[in-house]
Amino acid sequence: MNYKTEYITCRICGSDKSKFLGVRGNQEYEGAPKLLAGQEHIKTNVVKCRECGFIYTNPMILLPEQKHPALYEDPEAYLSSANENPLKMFNRSLAYIEKFTRHKGKILDIGAGKGEFMSAAKEKGWDVYGVEPSANFRSYAKEKFGLEIYGTDLDKIGLPDNYFDVITMNMVLEHIDEPHKLLSVVNKLLKKGGLLYIEVPNMESGLLKLINFYYRIKGRNWNCLLSPLHWPYHCYGYQSATLKRLCGMRNFRVKKTAVFGIGMRGFRSSCGENKLKQKARNALANLAAYLGQGDILITLAIKQ
């Protein structure tokens, strides 16, 4: 085993008491391609904190920097959405945010990617700011949208406290190793009464529950709640209750929680999946969303 692992405790409450949910890896999912020559079998456990319900991978997988695929540095190859028009998806998110804001002020997008959300907000009259670690993504955003995006850590930008009206994290928090630290910095930068928008995969998704049930009846100890199949891994999984607890611990009051179907981000076909399975999966995902168990969890919180 060339990759390293590290045993961790719950990132929300600090407890080391957890329940084993199943195995997740680059071979532990339906339709997984066979490993190529020299390719390593990477796997870990999915566990659930017995104290607060937080879901995470344990042990944590630690990969050397050079193993990060070029996909996450290539703006042309990386898709923030499987929809043909990502701006349509981000405009939908922005419209949802604007239901809870009185005016269009300063908005900061953490994990801005290629700048698509920032571009949508700028078009709507927002004063936009962004933070993104990928230099290639920042260059893409500047060339395509004329956006200047910070590349430094959020706490090193140098902006004054109580500066932003809205701060957004679109599919970011599930990758963050220290969520308490991030939300503490966010709290300092956000104005009192300002809005925090968090979008993450929903660990209470009806489709994920069905997939795990399928694994159990097939006699497999797999679990699909987290996905250590590629970098950057989804190491942490949120439910509405754990997000509410995390926000409350950092002086945020949750104003609204909503669940949407994965359709808002589009569907990607799994490797080796035939068209009939694709249609069945999509239909089940849409049904789960209709029943309030969709794949995307959105939380809006107010700085107190």
- Above 80 in pLDDT, residue 134? yes
Question: Range with the lowest mean pLDDT among 19-28, 142-151, 230-239, 266-275?
Answer: 266-275
Mean pLDDT of the chain: 87
Residue 256 dihedral angles phi and psi, to the nearest 5°? -155, 135
- 163 CB-side CA count, 13 A: 14
- Above 80 in pLDDT, residue 291? no
Residue 75 dihedral angles phi and psi, to the nearest 5°? -60, -30
Query: How confident is the model over 43-49, as a mean pLDDT?
Result: 95
- Asked if 130 contacts 108 with a C-beta cutoff of 8 angstroms, the reply is yes
Residue 295, both tokens: 């794949």
- Asked if 46 contacts 19 with a C-beta cutoff of 8 angstroms, the reply is no
Question: What is the structure's pLDDT at 232?
Answer: 59
> Where do the domains of the chain lie?
1-66+203-237, 68-198+243-304
Provide the whole-model pTM. Answer: 0.89
Question: Range with the lowest mean pLDDT among 65-79, 93-107, 123-137?
Answer: 65-79
Neighbours of 67 (CB within 10 A): 11
pLDDT band, very low/low/confident/very high, at 279 (cuts 50, 70, 90): confident
Alpha carbon distance 67, 63 (integer Å): 7
Alpha carbon distance 187, 184 (integer Å): 5
pLDDT band, very low/low/confident/very high, at 227 (cuts 50, 70, 90): confident
Question: Which amino acid is located at 215 in the chain?
Answer: Y
Is the CATH number of domain 68-198+243-304 3.40.50.150? yes
Question: What is the structure's pLDDT at 271?
Answer: 46
Question: What is the structure's pLDDT at 265?
Answer: 56
Q: Please choose, from the candidates 237, 239, 206, 216, the residue with its C-alpha nearest in 3D space to the C-alpha of residue 47.
A: 237
pLDDT per position as a tens digit, 146-202: 999 999 889 899 999 999 999 999 999 998 999 999 999 999 999 999 999 999 999
Alpha carbon distance 52, 247 (integer Å): 13
pLDDT band, very low/low/confident/very high, at 267 (cuts 50, 70, 90): very low
DSSP reduced 3-state for 166: strand
Residue 144, both tokens: 């395509």
- Asked if 198 contacts 299 with a C-beta cutoff of 8 angstroms, the reply is yes
Identify which has the larger pLDDT, 277 or 232.
277
Residue 284 dihedral angles phi and psi, to the nearest 5°? -65, -40
pLDDT band, very low/low/confident/very high, at 32 (cuts 50, 70, 90): confident
Taking the CA atoms of residue 203, residue 206, residue 209 and residue 213 in that order, the dihedral angle to the nearest 10 degrees is -170
Question: Range with the lowest mean pLDDT among 46-50, 226-230, 233-237?
Answer: 226-230
Percent of the chain having pLDDT more than 70? 85
Alpha carbon distance 64, 141 (integer Å): 27
Alpha carbon distance 32, 270 (integer Å): 9
Identify which has the larger pLDDT, 89 or 109.
109
DSSP state of 16: -
Question: What is the structure's pLDDT at 152?
Answer: 87
Peptide linkage before 232 cis (omega within 30 of 0): yes
